[in-house]
A and B are shown apart, each in its own frame.
Chain A
Amino acid sequence: MATREEKIKIASKFLKAAPPGEINDVFNDVRTLVGDDELLDGGILTALEEYNIEELATVEVPGIEGKVIVSKHGLIERNRFLNPKTNQTFMLDHLRQTASDLESHTVDEEVEELRKAIENDTEAYVADRYAEGVSAVYGSKGVVTIAIVHNKYSPSNYWNGRWRSVWTLDVATNEVKGAMKCKVHYYEDGNVQLETAKELENKLTKDASEPHKVIAKALLDFIGAAESKYQQALNESYHDLAESTFNGLRRALPYTRTKLDWNKILTYRIGAELAAK
């Protein structure tokens, strides 16, 4: 019989691996498997928090227009997150995915102008590549962080998908770091999952002495090119996997170009053994 700790550990593992848009389904499944409601609600809350933060969950915040991203870059204190666009923080109920208790936040004046310029260009970029994408641009201690998430859910067609990008710019050193992750789940009479991840590092050619608008444009041009290149690599990989790796596993037909003659196989291998009674 599994101990309380073991149960929480296993349940947490399932939760953190929930496919895009299916966290509620996984939560209900886990509840059935593990039993003991009280145990669950207390013990796996950490797993839900980690899930929401890692997956860039989006929430509606009363008083703020549009959806707001939940991420570690906006984590002020446990369960309180920052919406950098309006410079407000809110409390998040991780279980119900609801927000409340808006408060104003102290801005990091040093990086705020640059943050705003980058936010402007980011929103234009996201609108142009991610049909229902949501973004957030944070600025703090000389680092500007961009978070982009795009969810597409189609449970009636048995598929869901999520794209996440996180980019950081170190203002002093011009270093740009990026991480792009994609997850797709297809589950009609089956269970097929795609998971991709790519990280990269580089330097912007425009340095901190340039006007903010110029830096912002250079950054978003760089990001746009890098993400397009990554998407191209993904598509090429799909082609290679289909034509090379997949075909190398099972042929569509034997080299004879006809299906098996099962009668021939039997008479050749078995002989009279089975026929004799």
Chain B
Amino acid sequence: MLLFSRQGKLRLQKWYVPLSDKEKKKITRELVQTVLARKPKMCSFLEWRDLKIVYKRYASLYFCCAIEDQDNELITLEIIHRYVELLDKYFGSVCELDIIFNFEKAYFILDEFLLGGEVQETSKKNVLKAIEQADLLQESQNEEWGGLSEDIL
């Protein structure tokens, strides 16, 4: 299972199956083309090779997930939605720019939500708590460090 969002250009990519870079590029290109070619009224699923692609558009961003045939398409759609909710909550009304410039944060959130291709934590509160905790620790250290390095410099 892989998940990435984009808008012609890739904004985030996460691969849950090992693939070579070349393959990744090929797949990405193929999917971007197919998904962008689809009209808004068409359904959010499509078959691609032996996988199903579930995608959803949020403003200017497409979120795309590949799932296996026996997986539930609708719940995948909700996974995407939950991720967007999480991003929204974290950044406070998220926009594409947030993701572009803080993509590592978006990755951290994704890692807390999905792990190894499976939903890890479905409680919004818990995910955000985990992120905030990490951020907090980080910041306190960061400030120390920041001060320190300035002293040295």
Real complex partners, A and B?
Answer: no
**Interface residues, chain B, with chain A CB atoms under 8 Å away:** none
**Interface residues, chain A, with chain B CB atoms under 8 Å away:** none
